[in-house]
Amino acid sequence: MSAKKALGRGLGAIFEDVEDAYNQDLNNAQDLVRDIDVNRISPNPYQPRKYFNESAIKELSESIKKHGLLQPIIVVEKDNDYMLLAGERRFRATKKAGLETIRAIVADIESENLRELALIENIQREDLNPIELAIAYKELIEEYNITQEGLSEVVKKSRTQITNTLRLLSLTEKTQKLVVEGKLSQGHAKVVVGLDSNDEQTVVNTILGQKLSVRETEQLVKKIKNTEQKSDISKNKQIKETLEFTSLEKRLNSFGLKTKTKAHSITIEFENSESIDQFLEKIK
């Protein structure tokens, strides 16, 4: 049985409501599109997006000033005013542009679905950062008591993608904040998942301080995990040595040298005697 059928008119139906709202032929449904005073629109309290890139909002604001709003936002009527359902970035940018009204589709959607609609709209239409996306997945799974496989079928994302995204919630708050702010990529974050909090902090600091690639981070984490069975003193000593070797290897590579690391040794490959002389000059 598919996830949609298993959920009846629940989550699957809400997805259809979102699609219907976006797939309206605006030329044939002008009665649904209105120019609404921005001051009459309140934000959706269930909005999963917590972090907004202000420079991106400013760029969008300038575009709206120049070209107008190309895609209307979606609102629902509430207490003789309106509540935002979809398009918070567009709404914020329009207000930043100093415009008094905004084009909006007034959707006919039951109020009890607003929380789920906000989650789904962001999953489908906006670029949530990986942590916000993980939270949205988690809330939908808990709300509808479905498996990751069931959610995968409904949101049209692979189960692996959903699993890897959810695992980011096991990171410390400090590391999650770096992901939200875009200072740590999702690729790097996925690699450090599973480390204890101290090792996680050590690796994250090394990633940021030495600008490690994802592959270099994988190699570092692999070396650290190989020390997990050792005593704490031995482990800490080996981790320190590993970090020192990683730093040295990265510096040698920055010189354009080919290196190979094995255990506690680094082998440098020189093409000719001239490259040796150049290297010796650099380290004087």
Question: Which one, of 91, 60, 57, lies nearest residue 75 by Cα?
Answer: 91
34 pairs with which residues across the strands? 104
Residues 153 and 195 in one domain: no
**Mean pLDDT of all residues in 214-232:** 78
Q: Which of 88, 116, 121, 200 is catalytic?
A: 88
Beta carbons of 123 and 155 less than 8 angstroms apart:
yes
Mean pLDDT of the region 61-85: 82
Q: Is 154 helix (H, G, I), strand (E, B) or coil?
A: helix
pLDDT range class, residue 4, cuts 50, 70, 90: very low
Concatenating the DSSP letter of every residue in 178-208 gives HHHTTSS-HHHHHHHTTS-HHHHHHHHHHHH
268 pLDDT more than 70: yes
Same domain, 185 and 114: no
Computed over every residue of the chain, the mean pLDDT equals 76
pLDDT in tens, 43-53: 877 666 666 77
Q: Is the Cα dihedral 169, 173, 177, 183 positive or negative? A: negative
Gap between the Cα atoms of 21 and 15, Å rounded: 10
Same domain? For 143 and 26 the reply is yes
Rg (CA), the chain: 25
Q: Could you give the strand order of the β-sheet that contains 41-42, starting from the edge strand earlier in sequence?
A: 33-37, 101-106, 73-78, 81-86, 41-42
Evaluate whether residue 265 is within a structural domain. Answer: no
In the chain, % of residues over pLDDT 90: 18
Q: How confident is the model at residue 173 (pLDDT cuts 50, 70, 90)?
A: very high
Pair (84, 123) in one structural domain: yes
Whether residue 215 lies inside any domain: the answer is yes
pLDDT at 115 over 90: no
Question: Residues 185-214: pLDDT tens digits?
Answer: 999 999 999 999 999 999 999 999 888 999
**Does residue 113 share a domain with residue 41?**
yes
Q: Is the separation of the CB atoms in 49 and 126 below 8 Å?
A: yes
157 and 177 share a domain?
Answer: no
pLDDT of residue 44: 74
Q: Is 88 a catalytic residue?
A: yes
Q: What is the pLDDT of residue 195?
A: 92
User: Look-up: residue for tokens 């599109």?
Assistant: 33
Do 138 and 182 share a domain, yes or no? no
Indicate if 157 and 226 belong to the same structural domain.
no
Of 1-10, 78-87, 195-204, 217-226, the range with the lowest mean pLDDT is: 1-10
pLDDT at 158 over 70: yes
Which domain range does residue 246 map to?
A: 171-251
Question: Model confidence over 246-258: pLDDT tens digits?
Answer: 666 666 676 666 7
For residues 67 and 20, membership in a common domain is answered with yes
Q: Are residues 78 and 130 in the same domain?
A: yes
Residues 15 and 107 in one domain: yes
Higher-scoring residue by pLDDT: 26, 127: 127
| Long-range contact pairs involving 208-214 (C-beta distance under 8 Å, separation at least 24) | 208/178, 208/183, 208/184, 210/246, 210/247, 210/250, 212/188, 212/246, 212/250, 214/185, 214/187, 214/188
pLDDT of the residue at 114: 59
The strand pair at 81-86 and 73-78 is best described as antiparallel
Distance CA 49, CA 37 (A): 23
Residue 271 resides in a domain: no
* Domains held by the chain: number: 2
| 204 shares its domain with 126 | no
Tell whether the model's pLDDT for residue 266 goes beyond 90: no
